[in-house]
Amino acid sequence: MNQVTHFPVGNGDTSLIQTTDSAYTTNIIVDCNIRNESLGSKDPAMYDVKAHLLRSLNRKTVNGITNVPYADVFILTHGDEDHVRGFEQHFYQGDPRLYSQRNKDAGEIINETMWFSPMVMGKANNEDERVFNKEARRRINLHRLNSPDRDLPGNRIAIIGYDGNEKLDGLRHYVPGQIVSRFNNRELSTFSIFIHSPYQQGLTEDEVDKNGVSIVFQARYKINPFSSTFSALFMFAGDANHEAIAEILDKTIRHGNATRHQALAWDVLVAPHHCSWTFFNFCEQEDHPIPEKTSIAFLRQRRTENAHVIASCKPISPYDKNPPHYAAKVEYVKVVGEKNFFNLATAIMRGQTPQPIIYQVTAGGPMKPKAPEGTAKVAGAAGLSTINSIPGYGAGPVQ
């Protein structure tokens, strides 16, 4: 199974990356915004993300308890509430050897490996972020103390980006410009992640802008280990603002990674900060929007004219409170076209309930989302086909 699922969670982010290699499917969860109103279909206007995860994740026996759900990797792009909501309730924290039947009955998912930036581990702005930070520090301390348990599933960590405060020498550490193909102690041959950010270094807690230091990465699929091109490229940008995007663009091009590794190319882009204007410029300018040239240049790294932008946000209206910003949607549509812009809140509906957009990865690229039976037609998409055409595939971005 090679697919990426983007869940409709309002103004927030939750995605599930899945890739099969040597008969094992690696599951990577990116952020969580699991709202209590969505559980058990209490609110028909909310999709039950937790139930979907429990159906999708691998299971194993833990401490004699069978059928325990687990994720190979949980990536927290940054600690804002709409990216970490539900972490305390739905993900297990603590020594994995103490996971009990009570934890399983509560549907607690084990995160075997946590990826995060220590730059956002200062003062927590919400309870779930506080709990996440506590769990991250528990794992960090195991590694600092060289505990024999530090590499048990459920204790593993990876530090992403440069650090301003923590003394993390000796820990697994991935920095911008690095390609990662090892996930949860498994080396993968057809999937990798290119790390783009965060870059900032030497910051104090008061100076850290959590949106500005979001983890930004490119998820890269190959159809086989020997292929010289990628069958699908997904860009995850967290809540990165236009300044962070400009730095990514500059350094990726300057270090040759745009051409050598196709590190800026994308077939599917998750619009940063829930289709906020901050991707294009400062919010104060929304009444007279002038997008930064670097932001438009980043968008024009799309590989084909059929590349998709996913807006993980509430319905977009020019008359509603921002974000999402209607002016931002206008700029995305100028580049990719109306039919290739998808708002998760409205793109696929089953009755009153928005449905996730699921991209199957094929030899010709990510397959366009298709509405399941009994579901309204996908907004902006016609039937089942691939985003990219195979001839000339991987030749470079569309200008």
CATH code where residue 161 lies: 3.60.15
Range(s) of the domain holding residue 358: 3-366
Residues 6+ apart with CB under 8 A from 97: 63, 149, 152
Residue among 9, 7, 13, 18 nearest 238 (CA)? 13
User: Has residue 339 been placed in a domain?
Assistant: yes
Quote the Cα angle for 324-329-333, to 5°: 160
User: Has residue 59 been placed in a domain?
Assistant: yes
pLDDT for the residue 222: 96
The side-by-side arrangement of strands in the sheet containing 191-197 is 179-180, 191-197, 216-221, 232-236, 268-270, 308-311, 341-343
Eight-state DSSP code of residue 214? -
pLDDT for the residue 125: 83
User: Has residue 383 been placed in a domain?
Assistant: no
C-alpha to C-alpha distance for 335 and 291, rounded to whole angstroms = 12
Indicate the pTM of the whole model. 0.92
C-alpha to C-alpha distance for 256 and 337, rounded to whole angstroms = 29
User: Has residue 391 been placed in a domain?
Assistant: no
For residue 373, pLDDT over 80 is answered with no
pLDDT for the residue 152: 97
Question: What is the per-residue pLDDT across 151-205, written as a single tens digit (0 to 9) for each?
Answer: 999 999 999 986 555 556 667 889 999 999 999 999 999 999 999 988 655 444 4
For residue 384, pLDDT over 50 is answered with no
CA distances from 255 to 192, 213, 249, 263, 321 (A): 19, 20, 10, 11, 40
pLDDT for the residue 320: 87
Q: Under a CB-based contact definition with an 8 Å cutoff, are residues 294 and 264 in contact?
A: no
C-alpha to C-alpha distance for 9 and 14, rounded to whole angstroms = 7
Q: Is 289 left (phi over 0), alpha (psi -120 to 50) or beta?
A: beta
pLDDT for the residue 136: 93
Residue among 251, 299, 253, 292 nearest 272 (CA)? 299
Question: What is the per-residue pLDDT across 325-359, written as a single tens digit (0 to 9) for each?
Answer: 999 999 999 999 999 999 999 999 999 999 999 99
For residue 385, pLDDT over 80 is answered with no
Residue among 381, 370, 294, 384 nearest 331 (CA)? 294
Residue among 27, 33, 12 nearest 59 (CA)? 27
C-alpha to C-alpha distance for 319 and 1, rounded to whole angstroms = 41
Q: Which H/E stretch holds residue 308?
A: strand 308-311
User: Has residue 387 been placed in a domain?
Assistant: no
Residues 6+ apart with CB under 8 A from 334: none
Q: How would you label 51-61 residue by residue, b for 16+ Cβ within 10 Å and e otherwise?
A: ebbeebbeeee
The whole-chain average pLDDT of the chain stands at: 88
- Residues recorded for the chain: 399
Span 109-133, mean pLDDT?
A: 87
User: Has residue 382 been placed in a domain?
Assistant: no
Q: How would you label 130-152 residue by residue, b for 16+ Cβ within 10 Å and e otherwise?
A: bbbbebbeebbebbbeeeeebee
Span 95-100, mean pLDDT?
A: 98
User: Has residue 381 been placed in a domain?
Assistant: no
Span 268-283, mean pLDDT?
A: 93
- Into how many domains does the chain fold? 1
Q: Would you call 271 exposed, middle or buried from its count of C-beta atoms within 10 A (0-12, 13-18, 19+)?
A: buried
Query: What count of Cα atoms within 13 Å lies in the side-chain half-sphere of residue 293?
Result: 1
For residue 118, pLDDT over 50 is answered with yes
Token couple for 370: 């298709």
User: Has residue 178 been placed in a domain?
Assistant: yes
